Amino acid sequence: MWPQQTSDFEAHLAAFACRTAHSLGRQIAEPSSHARTEFQRDRDRIIHSTAFRRLEYKTQVFVNHEGDLFRTRLTHSLEVAQIARAIARNLRINEDLVEAISLAHDLGHTPFGHAGQDALNACMQEFGGFEHNLQSLRVVDGLEQHYAQFDGLNLMYETREGILKHCSNANAAELGALGQRFLQHKQPSLEAQVTNIADEIAYNNHDVDDGLRSGLLNERQLTQVELYARFQKEVAATWPGLGGRQAIYETLRRIINALIVDLIQASQEAIQEAQPKSVEDVRNCPPLIRFSEPVRAQARELKQFLHANLYRHFQVNRMTSKARRVVNELFAAFLAEPGLLPPNYQAARGAPAALQARQIADYIAGMTDRYAMREHRRLFSIDEI
């Protein structure tokens, strides 16, 4: 006898939350589980995927070999999941779904962070471009090869919807029902909206931590940012004489907590005003997961500070310049000589050039930072094999 029926797991959810019973389902029908909801199964499939394991060696801001203590895409995804679950529980929406979306949202990211993504997009302009959210969907819809019955992970519609945070109209038009919300200007589920903002909370605050740890940022600079300055003063008043990493951690955890609390309160007010009775109502409302206006302005100020002082720091620029060169040269070499690719990434002889280019993009996007650097040496260094 199974310990619990899956319907019990979702009995506490609000009317506007996503439920297994009301889901649009999987692309390929499968027998349901007596021990897990379908969104729990999605989460488990994502965790056991090859692409998820690779996130351990994909960069967030700092390239993997620059230090063992900086965030990777894997640690970032775990932090997003923790923040998103805390918000979801307070709003009585589906925690298992937000966790699945959180853990999958970066599966399609290239090596070398945004520099790698921008470089691969430039390489792919003639062939439809490259969008990392769409690539994450490609990973879970087909590139993962774990099951005999289907390619990909065969995830639930709502999980796939949450993964696809952004999408161009051209690509949306080719995605059927999944792309319609972009064309019709509708919203995704509240679970997807929560994960989107949890992503921002996580990377803004943890990039501050990594920036300070690296020495590319200092606390004197950060006192220019209202959100940081307020909680730094609070820590100093509560713990006189506290310094170093402890003071930074105390400041950052207070910022994260304040952002989460404000988001929950402002979102509850927006939901109360809109009175959605179903997920479909949510899709037809304006975004309901939001900060209050003052906190939104403070979060935006922090984000702008990071762009000006960390992401465009000359040392970061030097590494991103190298990263772009690696991606550009790998793509050009494989496009000129497809025989250099592993056999499973070579298009059939006579296939359209766009198909070969897309398979090259799949190969490069799946690389970790260190694998991309090693592959580059293999192709361009006479001493490497």
For residue 316, what pLDDT band results from cuts at 50, 70 and 90?
A: confident
- The answer to whether residue 272 scores a pLDDT higher than 60 is yes
pLDDT, residue 384, reads 62
Query: pLDDT, tens digit, for every residue of 103-130?
Result: 999 999 999 988 899 999 999 999 999 9
> What's the pTM?
0.93
| Mean pLDDT, range 326-351, rounded to an integer | 92
pLDDT, residue 82, reads 97
| Mean pLDDT, range 304-331, rounded to an integer | 92
For residue 385, what pLDDT band results from cuts at 50, 70 and 90?
A: low
For 38, residues 6+ apart whose C-beta sits below 8 A from its C-beta are 6, 20, 23, 26, 32, 156
For residue 361, what pLDDT band results from cuts at 50, 70 and 90?
A: very high
- The answer to whether residue 270 scores a pLDDT higher than 80 is yes
Query: pLDDT, tens digit, for every residue of 283-296?
Result: 999 999 999 999 99
- The answer to whether residue 137 scores a pLDDT higher than 50 is yes
> In whole numbers, what is the pLDDT of the chain averaged over residues?
92
Q: Which fold has domain 12-315?
A: Hypothetical protein af1432 (1.10.3210)
| Mean pLDDT, range 343-357, rounded to an integer | 89
pLDDT, residue 301, reads 97
Q: Where are the domains of the chain?
A: 12-315, 319-380
3-state secondary structure string, the chain? Answer: CCCCCHHHHCCCCCCCCCCHHHCCCECCCCCCCCCCCHHHHHHHHHHCCHHHHHHHHCECCCCHHHCCCCCEHHHHHHHHHHHHHHHHHHHCCCHHHHHHHHHHCCCCCCCCHHHHHHHHHHHCHHHCCCCHHHHHHHHHHHHCCCCCCCCCCCCEHHHHHHHCCCCCHHHHCCCHHHHHHHHHCCCCCHHHHHHHHHHHHHHHHHHHHHHHHHCCCCHHHHCCCHHHHHHHHHHHHHCCCCCHHHHHHHHHHHHHHHHHHHHHHHHHHHHHHHCCCCHHHHHHCCCCCCCCHHHHHHHHHHHHHHHHHHHCCHHHHHHHHHHHHHHHHHHHHHHHCHHHCCHHHCCCCCCCHHHHHHHHHHHHHCCCHHHHHHHHHHHHCCCCC
For residue 1, what pLDDT band results from cuts at 50, 70 and 90?
A: very low
**Separation in Å, CA 349 to CA 14, 29, 342, 343, 356:** 53, 34, 15, 12, 10
pLDDT, residue 114, reads 86
pLDDT, residue 113, reads 86
| Mean pLDDT, range 270-285, rounded to an integer | 97
Query: pLDDT, tens digit, for every residue of 22-76?
Result: 999 999 999 988 889 999 999 999 999 999 999 999 887 655 545 455 778 999 9
pLDDT, residue 62, reads 58
- The answer to whether residue 77 scores a pLDDT higher than 60 is yes
